[in-house]
Every structure is written in structure tokens, then in C-alpha cells.
Amino acid sequence: MEAIRIENLDFSYGKEQVLEKIGFSLPEGHFGLLLGENGAGKSTFLRLLLGELTAENGKIEIFGQDVRGFKDWQQISYAAQNGMTGWEDFPASVEEIVQANLYRRIGLFRFAGKKEKAQVRRALELVGMEEFEKRLIGNLSGGQQQRILLARALVNEPKLLVLDEPTSALDEKNAESFYQLLKKIHEKQKISILMVTHDAKRAARYAQDVWILEDGKMYRKNGTAQEEREGRKNADF
């Protein structure tokens, strides 16, 4: 089964065509990468995938179900770009930040029990941050905060993890460390991952499937960047 399958997807903002005849697939359990410069349409693509926008034409399926009728959103975790914005000055612990992503399941006004606390602990262990459980989020470095954001996305034990520019605020060393961590989690958890980024140079080394979004069109990368550009007219969707 494919975690994501998209066929002949079109989308416009008014008269401006943003996405045209998009084809995309991510086999279940694969680590996929979507590359594109700023303004290429990556954010619009994600909003369509997550059901926030409705396509004019085409089909989007998540685990074999049409996104328009998809109900089990607990299977998907989304980590937004700059997802820690607003939390830095909030007097909350790492444990509380991660636990907050469980409230949709346990209820907003219910206390987390032993099961939920164990889930939080497992998520923090996955990202190597269990020793920071009681620390205030604002006292952590940018790289550490990004790991907490990843733990927050993993705490629901999703089948599909969607990451939007997760290393955009990180320096080169922390970005490399984050990619290595993500690869380790993918191999251990067998989770489907779609990461959207413009950091092609580093990120492409860690993914099984690499796609390029450029000028509203999608291309699958099969060789070097130059080979890809030369072969786009014959791209197989």
C-alpha cells in the first residue's frame, strides 16, 4: 500500500496556477523528500495533502482513502515550519509541550495518566531528550527545541510523519544531526516520512524517494540534478 498517492492534481489561487497535473507517491514505510525553492508551491501542496484546501482536479489518497473522506487523522502527525514559535517564552516544560499533542485523544481538560506519560517518555527517548523532560522549553537551544518538536509529532505513534522545513532555523551542524536522527527513527519505527525542504544538498542523502517541485510541476529525481533537469520531459509519474 502507498502512504500517499496523488494523481493529476491541479490547484489555482484565482487565475494564478500554482500546481499543475501533479503526480506523487510515497510507498508505506518509505522516507520521502520533496525539494523546492521558496514559492515553488510546497506549502500549498501540504495544505492540499492535509485537507486544508480542496483541489480543482485530481485525486489525493492517504493509505488508500480519498483525502476528502479521510477520518483517521490520528495516523498522521504534522510538524510545521517554525513550530516552536510562541512557545519559547511560555513557562512550560518539555514534558508538557510533548504531552499537549495527546489532548485531542485524551480530552483537553483531562489529566494525562500513566499510559500517556509513558508515551511521552518513549517519544523523548526516540529523540534522545528524555533527560530534559522537566526542563523549560525556553531554556533549550534551537537544535534541542527541534528535537522536542519531533518528539511532539511522534508521541501519537503515527503511521505518517509530515515535516515542513524542519531544519530551516538550524545551523549546518545541528541540521546534519537532525537528519541522522530522523534516519535512525525511520529505520527503527518503520514509519512513513515526508519531509519538505529546500535543503537539497544535505537532505537528499537520507531519503529513499526524492521529488522536486518547480514552477508548479512535480518531477521525480532519479539521477544527478543535471540528469534530472535534462530528463524532465520524459519524467515517469
Q: Which of 232, 200, 223, 182 is nearest to 35 (CA)?
A: 200
Report d(CA 184, CA 211) in Å as an integer: 21
Model-level pTM? 0.85
What confidence score (pLDDT) does residue 230 get?
Answer: 43
Cβ atoms of 48 and 35 within 8 Å: the answer is no
**119 to 91, 151, 204: CA distances (angstroms):** 22, 10, 30
What confidence score (pLDDT) does residue 113 get?
Answer: 72
User: Is a pLDDT exceeding 60 seen at residue 148?
Assistant: yes
Q: Which residues pair with 162 in a beta bridge?
A: 78, 194
What confidence score (pLDDT) does residue 90 get?
Answer: 72
**228 to 31, 40, 153, 222: CA distances (angstroms):** 20, 17, 33, 7
User: Is a pLDDT exceeding 90 seen at residue 142?
Assistant: no
Convert the pLDDT of each residue in 206-231 to its tens digit.
Answer: 899 999 999 899 999 864 343 344 44
What confidence score (pLDDT) does residue 131 get?
Answer: 94
Convert the pLDDT of each residue in 91-124 to its tens digit.
Answer: 889 998 899 888 665 444 455 678 888 999 999 9
Handedness of CA 66, 71, 77, 78 (dihedral sign): positive
User: Is a pLDDT exceeding 90 seen at residue 87?
Assistant: no
